[in-house]
Each structure stands twice: as C-alpha cells, then as structure tokens.
C-alpha cells in the first residue's frame, strides 16, 4: 500500500508540474517592433486609388493579425468633402490610433520655432478629442532642427508644454522613396516588375529593422521595442502582409504602438550636434558608437540603383562611395 501511495503522489506531482509549465505565458520574442505610417492622408500613388489603398491597408493588417498601428496625420491635407477624414476614421474603427505629424508637413530646419509650433497647434485642434487620438508628435522627415540647437530646444520645450511626446522611430528604410520611384516609372511608361518590387520592399524593411536592432544593442546593451517608420503608400497596401510575415519569420514579434512607446527608451532626449534621423542613429551618435550609424539604403543613390537594376531592369548609374559614418543623402518625403 505504501508503494502505491508513493507512486500516486509522484504521478500527481508530475501532472501538476506539466500543467504549471503548459499554462505559463509564451516567451516574448527576442526582437519586438511596432508599425507606424506617416503622411496620412497621402495623395495618389502608382497603382491604387486612394479608397483601394485605405481598404487594403485595413484588410492587410487584419489578415496579418496586427491589432494596432499608428497613423501620423497631416490635417492640412484634409478638405471638406474629399473623403480623407472618413478614411482616417476607418483606420480608427479598425482598432488603430492616430497622432500628430504637423498640420502642413514643414521642415523645422527651414521654419522658425514659433511658426512650427503654431503649425503643430493647428494639427492638434483637428486631432484632439477624436477617437484613437494619442498625444504623440512626429517631426516631418525626422527633421528636429538639424544643427540649430536653439531652435531644437525651443520646439522640445514647446512639445513638453503641450504634453506631446516625441513620436520617435528607431527603424527607417525610406519606403517613401521606393514609392516615389514607382510613381516616376509608371508615369514614364517603364515596365515595373511587381514581384521584384515586392521583394525589394520587404527585403529593405527587414534589413533596416535588423540594422537598427544591432545598432541599439551596441548602444544600449539591449534590444528595445522598435518603432518602424512606413508611409501610407500603395506599396504598403500591396506588400504589408508579406512584410509582416517576413519580419515574423526573421524572429520579430509585432506589437502595438502603445506597447512600443511604453519602452523608456522613447523618453530619451538625445544631445547631438545635428538633430535629425532615427532615435537609433541619434543615440549611437550621442554615445560615440563607431561604425555605420545609418542604414545604407537610406542613401537615395543606393536605393535608386537597386530599384533601377532589380525592378525596371535597366543599368543603374554608379554609386559613389561615401564614409560609413556620414549622414545619408536624403531628400525628405513631402
């Protein structure tokens, strides 16, 4: 009898242990990233109507099981009766959030601090009180004033006074430029290899995410919850499910924008000589991290050469070599 009781106790213990282990929450991925889309509402792209793009983005995010992304809005592009406000409302109705990307998309390097803050106020007047609103502000073109520290600090103070946090990004693959090249090619009647364009788009964004993660690990000693910068483009609408699948296959967990901005890294106030670019770049610069600090394809010469060769199957112009730590050659999105 004693042996039976001992065996029964061992059996119950093993079952209890297995139940406890199986009921533990799944481990979080080693790399986590949220998605955000700038320049909403954006004008016509190369392949879709504006309504098609809106519907495909919503459907693609649902298909990919992404519960929440952030759309950074330029209310100055919204006119009465043009349907843009309704399209933004559809994003929110689908569970996504909206935030401030300025009213008219000015460049801080070319605008006085008072004028820039007044433009933010106009955007806030449209955004505040709407469902899905978040008090985040993202600098257009990630331009935080360049070398003008006085202007930079005046706008930083203005954001604090308005209870707005900097809507930093850590990952940027200049997707807007691939869209621009696609529009130019279509207008010129050049054949666009859509399968090659899809591959280039997905590859570029995943590479950029891994580049920034490696840079952040060198800078911080850890992987933060990343924020990916995308734009409300036709390419995003067409290729988003493929991008999300590729990120997951590469070990990335997709999280909400709210989850990303809960990471304390986004409270950083980088002190750098030239304030622009991703948070990963600025923190690496601040902490004197050696080696490349920006993703190579954010140099539009590199991106154009890849597009020309792989998507329209033409011979690209040679790309001059540039120092790995130099700032990329970038034309800001408009």
Within a 10 A sphere around the Cβ of 54, how many other Cβ atoms? 22
213 phi-psi bin (left φ>0, alpha ψ -120 to 50, beta other): alpha
What is residue 55's predicted lDDT score, i.e. its pLDDT? 98
Output the pLDDT for position 29.
79
pLDDT tens digits, 19-67: 333 343 456 679 999 999 999 999 999 999 999 999 999 999 999 999 9
Asked whether residue 323 carries a pLDDT value surpassing 90, the answer given is: no
Residue that has been written with the tokens 């790399």 in this structure = 31
The answer to whether the peptide bond before residue 202 is cis (omega within 30 degrees of 0) is no
Q: What are the tens digits of pLDDT across the range 284-295?
A: 999 999 999 999
The mean pLDDT of 158-173, rounded to a whole number, is: 98
Q: What pLDDT, in 10s, does the model give residues 223-266?
A: 999 999 999 999 999 999 999 999 999 999 999 999 999 999 99
User: In the beta sheet, which residues pair with residue 87?
Assistant: none
Share of the chain above pLDDT 90, in %: 86
Do the bridges between strand 275-276 and strand 143-146 make them parallel or antiparallel, or are there none, so unpaired?
Answer: antiparallel
pLDDT digits (tens, 9 = 90+) for 86-126: 999 999 999 999 999 999 999 999 999 999 999 999 999 99
pLDDT at 322: 60
Average pLDDT, the chain: 90
Query: How far is C-alpha 40 from the geometric centre of its chain's CA atoms?
Result: 13
Q: Is the pTM of this model over 0.85?
A: yes
Least confident of 16-25, 32-41, 171-180, 311-320: 16-25
Token pair 């980088």: residue: 270
DSSP string, 105-153: ---GGGS-HHHHHHHHHHHHHHHTTSTTEEEEE--GGGEEEET-HHHHH
| Spatial CA neighbour of 76 closest among 53, 99, 102 | 102
């Amino acid at each position: 009898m004693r042996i039976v009781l001992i065996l029964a106790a061992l059996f119950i213990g093993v079952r209890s242990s297995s139940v406890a282990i199986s009921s533990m929450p799944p481990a979080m991925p080693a790399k986590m990233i949220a998605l955000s889309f700038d320049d909403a509402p954006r004008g016509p792209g190369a392949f879709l109507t504006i309504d098609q793009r809106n519907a495909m983005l919503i459907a693609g995010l649902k298909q990919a099981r992404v519960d929440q992304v952030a759309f950074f809005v330029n209310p100055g592009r919204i006119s009465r009766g043009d349907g843009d406000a309704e399209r933004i409302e559809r994003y929110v109705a689908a569970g996504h959030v909206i935030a401030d990307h300025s009213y008219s998309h000015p460049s801080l390097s070319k605008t006085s601090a008072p004028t820039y803050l007044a433009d933010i106020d106009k955007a806030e007047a449209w955004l505040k009180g709407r469902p899905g609103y978040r008090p985040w502000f993202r600098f257009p073109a990630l331009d935080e004033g360049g070398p003008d520290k006085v202007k930079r600090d005046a706008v930083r103070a203005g954001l604090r006074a308005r209870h707005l946090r900097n809507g930093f990004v850590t990952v940027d693959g200049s997707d807007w430029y691939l869209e621009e090249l696609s529009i130019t090619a279509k207008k010129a009647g050049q054949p666009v290899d859509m399968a090659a364009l899809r591959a280039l788009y997905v590859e570029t964004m995943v590479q950029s995410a891994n580049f920034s993660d490696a840079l952040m690990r060198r800078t911080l000693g850890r992987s933060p919850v990343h924020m990916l910068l995308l734009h409300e483009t036709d390419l995003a609408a067409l290729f988003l499910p493929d991008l999300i699948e590729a990120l997951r296959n590469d070990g990335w967990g997709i999280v909400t924008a709210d989850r990303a901005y809960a990471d304390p890294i986004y409270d950083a106030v980088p002190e750098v000589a030239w304030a622009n670019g991703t948070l990963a770049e600025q923190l690496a610069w601040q902490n004197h991290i050696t080696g490349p600090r920006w993703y190579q394809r954010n140099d539009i010469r590199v991106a154009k050469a890849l597009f020309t060769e792989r998507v329209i199957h033409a011979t690209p112009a040679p790309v001059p070599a540039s120092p790995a730590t130099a700032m990329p050659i970038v034309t800001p999105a408009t």
